[in-house]
Structure 1
């Protein structure tokens, strides 16, 4: 996920043109980037093997963490999506190098005047990796499968609940109403209300269309809660089956590698490399050393301190625009003190965010005033601001009767995120800030996909480090995702404003008039920072991706959702 979108398309999402990636040295990157005029990505580099056609090459990418599994419906993290987006596709996608919505498995679509009924013309001649045909029935099967999740499956299908709302039979209202295949090429999706984010949300990996045959055969819905974690069925671990340019080969947990192979029956232009390997290397320094040694061909999120050195060594470092937010999450469930606004404000004043941004983040990073960057509608500088003021923090804690407050603060290991290149350093800085105002910090660290995300979603910590890279350019993709559900990781259901906030978010997203909707989000941002403060916004940080000098055809994505089908290596 990550950066700006563009143009109003078929009542889709309104946004601004995505900026092209730039090199760390200030000039244009040798990696293929988006072309300035149209925002269209380019992958037209040629090689000595004949114009960059299909090769027998292997491209090895250094991944910062292990995928949680391979069914995108249940995924929430970037490392899982990095793999699944190579194998699966949705009805719509995003133009390479931008966040512009474009046709993918749907050749076109149209909506009713009220924005409730959407007819998608399904691309014909497309086959899933198991040889079965894509048609409108398969599309509707997928949407009904998503909508019908129960128990552990509903818990893990977080992108559905974040964007669509409730599941079939639940008391939570759902944006989704039905899907009908009126003929083999026409899938009609009906919504319960207008939303500013449709059909852009269908470009998210979680809404990928997967083989109904394989989903049935390998019990795709059989997700089980096991303690604080989840156990996934054979479909999600061994048999993911989509329509993408690569197909699943193996996940070697002993050697920490995920191997995909070219889909020789892909409906579009075939992948240029025969094999795509994700080598899991949790340590960023180790990833850099493997790139330097030539054992991998690239990796994401190089440490900003290494950008210039890598460029000087001849590697291609492409810096994407910052379209993200790092926040300090506050869970109000376990510690009643955190239900007091004064305590949450004290935490905000305690954090030296300016020092953190200038000392740890790359050039171009900014302290966040609210929960999304200034390129998104509804952004306003007229919000309550929390400059670093430890004395004010101490005073607020004393007023709240919490001068001796103890908080359980979690941070993730085995991961780097676009908004958080070095989680330990973030934690260390903010732990010291909190202790300076008298707060006792109990530390817990867990692997990103080895207990951290599950623990946060299980509402175990008091404070936690997380963030978000935008999927598309609407306010709802940020604050709607975070705060629409009062029972989410922020545990606002007992706050007097918890239900009110959910209703306000739904009202804003449902407003079809652009000007009125913008005004609603401006008002919401003011209230979020002054009256609610369910988390502390920290920073926006531009992420980079680095590849070897021989790598061609990579289109850096402002959404950090690079597709590797266009990548190859010059001889």
Structure 2
């Protein structure tokens, strides 16, 4: 299956390289890691790579990320809302003042009715426009939205289930598509996907070839003239196999590839290609299935032991230095890392001691299955990386790990299942890369209220100290208090680990020399309006 997909992708890029183009047109061709094109209805699947390329460039939220800086974490900026604030009489309610005069790509008006229509699309199963395929994706990213209403044509409110100072960090993931697109598609989301649908962003979708490519064109009527894109078109191609992406770049069939194979980076540099890397909030872990029946990972000593048993530096070497060791959800130099009792190093003796205390010895070794992907957003090189971990755990601590490889979207679906769901095939861990960008993301992944299947806490991890700290953090308004309790919360993630922390990658990409203006932000996402071709 993987080979067939790679050949299909190559066929598309070959055709593109031979197709005639206007001498004046700038067409940027990008090789993604996904094995299929992300969905195009306004809430893309395929993880954050889907959001990176078929989410934010086309369909926008009331709040956007500022992706123009490399020296600090991405911040928030006004999007389809010019400003927002907590209601003076209710800290659970947020008021959004919408930008006036914005049009969807199809020429229809963006207004409060469109916002409510899009919220109903996801959060009201009885709405005519309910999009079942998008519900799990968006609800898991905005798990605390309780209600919403139109105040007037340019003002809406959203109310959360708890007081949450970090709610604005969740709002960018609520994307807005044109209600008129749904009508034009016969009120059938499958047909809407092929129209294609309209958003408000700096790019619009102009062509969809299922499982092969998506073409974007610059939106010359974009509401922010300062953010008008520099290229005329972008062609997105799913090329899941790293060496196939490398070949496509070398041959000139694409201009940009996500995650070049690490062993190919030196030769790319020597040949004049541009390699981009940079620190950003991302961690590549195993999620522990601690709530499954008879799970060996229910014992915190086992979860800690595995964190002492792995040689993170060997994985960094495997990736040719395009990653750094992970000993927590955040990086050790992050002010919110805190001072946990456990500072994980490669210490097999300590790992084996903890395993023995939990009842696992050479005569009764720990054994479990991990489900991984063959490629995908932020997954780097999952097959060789997991094979290395499998051997490492066996040699260092006598742990037997079986690996079940599936496609990326199948793995994402598994991460929304309950711990004993048949779709997991008995897996006691999932290898799903994760953002680690802000308090809202921490709440999404680790608060017990967000336990699977309704939220992203697949492990159904519960730590009472963490819960107490998060409550204080949620109600805080001053930055000093937020940072203090953010660090306290992170300490619990290290000392009572719901994950096996492995590496933080450095977001590698490779470009032809004609790609100019790219900024590698401290974010999963990128600002495609900055990119030019010369």
Structure 1 and Structure 2 fold alike (TM over 0.5): yes
Q: 1:259 maps to which residue?
A: 215
Determine helix, strand or coil for the equivalent of 2:432.
Answer: strand
Alignment of 1:112-123 (within 5 A): 112-113=87-88, 115-123=91-99
What is residue 164 of structure 1 aligned with on the other side?
A: 142
Contact 1:283–1:414 (CA<8 Å) still a contact in 2?
yes
The 3-state SS of whatever aligns with 2:372 is strand
Query: Would you say the 8 A contact 2:30–2:255 is kept in 1?
Result: yes
CA distance in 2, matches of 1:75, 1:502: 30
CA distance in 2, matches of 1:554, 1:431: 37
- Among residues 320, 325, 345, which one is paired with 2:283 in the alignment? 325
Partner of 2:3: none
Pick aligned residue for 1:404 from 365, 371, 374: 365
C-alpha distance in 2, partners of 1:416/1:361? Answer: 19
Per the TM alignment, residue 77 of structure 1 is displaced from its structure 2 partner at its CA by 0.7
> Is the 1:411–1:465 Cα contact (8 Å) retained in structure 2?
yes
Query: How far, CA to CA, are the matches of 1:135 and 1:326 in structure 2?
Result: 39
Which of 202, 205, 210 is residue 248 of structure 1 equivalent to? Answer: 205
Q: What are the superposed Cα offsets for residues 305-333 of structure 1, whole Å, 9 maximum, x if unpaired?
A: 44443233222222222321111211121
What is the deviation of 1:93?
A: 1.4
Name the SS of the counterpart of 2:181 in structure 1.
helix
Q: TM-score, normalised by structure 1?
A: 0.76
From 363, 387, 393, the counterpart of 1:428: 387
Relative to the length of structure 2, the TM-score reads: 0.81
Judged with a 3 Å threshold, the aligned counterparts in structure 2 of structure 1 residues 273 and 516 are, in CA distance, closer, same or farther, namely: closer
- Equivalent in the alignment of 1:556: 520
Report the CA distance between 1:156 and its aligned residue: 5.2
Contact 1:74 1:153 in 2 (8 A): no
In 1, distance between residues paired with 2:333 and 2:352? 34
Contact 2:202 2:219 (8 Å CA) reproduced: yes
Q: Once the 2 structures are TM-superposed, how far is the Cα of residue 521 of structure 1 from its aligned partner?
A: 2.9
Q: Is the 8 A contact 1:219 1:233 kept in 2?
A: no
Q: Structure 1: how far apart are the matches of 2:126 and 2:473?
A: 28
User: Which deviates more, 422-431 or 454-463?
Assistant: 454-463
State the Cα distance separating 1:414 from its structure 2 match. Answer: 3.1
Preserved contact between residue 195 and residue 512 of structure 1 (Cα < 8 Å): no
> Which of 69, 76, 86 is 1:101 aligned to?
76
The partner residue of 1:62 within 31, 36, 47 is 31
Structure 1 vs Structure 2 CA RMSD: 3.1
1:510 aligns with 2:475: yes
Unmatched 5+ residue regions in structure 2?
Answer: 1-22
In the other structure, the counterpart of 1:569 is 533
Mapped contact 2:473–2:482 kept (Cα < 8 A): yes
Question: How far apart are 1:118 and its partner, in Å?
Answer: 3.4
Is the 8 Å Cα contact of residues 335 and 462 (structure 1) preserved in structure 2? no
1:56 to 1:334, Cα distance in 2 relative to 1, 3 A: farther
> Which residue, 310, 314, 333 being the options, matches 1:355?
314
1:226 is aligned to none
Where in structure 2 are the equivalents of 1:212-251 lying within 5 Å? 212-215=179-182, 218=185, 233-236=190-193, 238-251=195-208
- Distance, in Å, in 2 between the alignment partners of 1:97 and 1:444 is 39
**Could you say if the C-alpha distance between residues 540 and 195 of structure 1 is closer, same or farther in structure 2, counting changes exceeding 3 Å?**
same
Q: Give the 3 Å change call, closer, same or farther, for CA 375–200 of structure 1 in structure 2.
A: farther
Counterpart residue number, 1:469: 435
Matched, 1:199 2:163: no
Helix, strand or coil: the match of 2:431?
strand
Q: Distance in 2 between matches of 1:439 and 1:219?
A: 55
| Partner of residue 309 from structure 1, selected from 258, 263, 267 | 267
Q: Please tell me whether the aligned partners of residues 59 and 276 of structure 1 are also in contact (alpha carbons under 8 angstroms).
A: yes
- How far did 1:516 drift? 3.1
Unaligned runs of at least 5 residues, structure 1: 1-53, 166-173, 223-231
Write the distance in 2 (CA, Å) between the matches of 1:193 and 1:414.
36
- Secondary structure (helix, strand or coil) at the match of 1:325 reads strand
State whether structure 2 residue 431 is matched by structure 1 residue 453: no
Q: Are 1:438 and 2:398 an aligned pair?
A: yes
> What's 1:11 paired with?
none
- When structure 1 is superposed on structure 2, of 110-119 and 57-66 the one drifting more is 110-119
Q: Which has the higher helix share?
A: 2
3-state SS of paired residue (2:234): strand
Residue 398 of structure 1, CA deviation: 3.2
Q: Which residue of 2 aligns with 1:80?
A: 50
Cα offset, 1:209, TM superposition = 1.5
Counterpart CA distance in 2 for 1:185 and 1:73 is 23
1:89 matched to which residue of 2? Answer: 60
Q: Secondary structure, in 3 states, of the residue corresponding to 1:131?
A: coil
Inter-partner Cα distance in structure 2 for 1:375 and 1:189: 35
Look up the match of 1:227: none
1:63: Cα distance to partner?
1.1
Q: For residues 369 and 144 of structure 1, what CA distance do their matches in structure 2 show?
A: 40
Shift in alpha-carbon separation, 1:567–1:378, aligned structure 2, 3 A: closer
SS in 1 for 2:102: coil
Determine if contact 2:285/2:499 at 8 Å carries over to the other structure: yes
State the alpha-carbon separation in 2 of the partners of residues 444 and 261 from structure 1: 39
SS of residue matched to 2:415: helix
Residue aligning to 1:487: 452
The residue number in structure 2 matching 1:169 is none
Task: Return closer, same or farther for 1:427/1:84 CA change in 2, 3 Å cut-off.
Answer: same
Q: Counterparts of 1:175 and 1:510 in 2: how far apart (Å)?
A: 16
- 1-structure distance, mates of 2:377, 2:138: 25
For residues 240-293 of structure 1, give each alpha carbon's deviation from its aligned partner in whole angstroms, at most 9, with x where no partner exists.
Answer: 321122222333236x21222333443334433333211221122221221121
Assess, with a 3 A threshold, how the Cα gap between structure 1 residues 387 and 321 changes in structure 2: closer, same or farther: closer
Give the C-alpha shift of residue 500 in structure 1: 6.8
Secondary structure at the counterpart of residue 62 of structure 1: strand
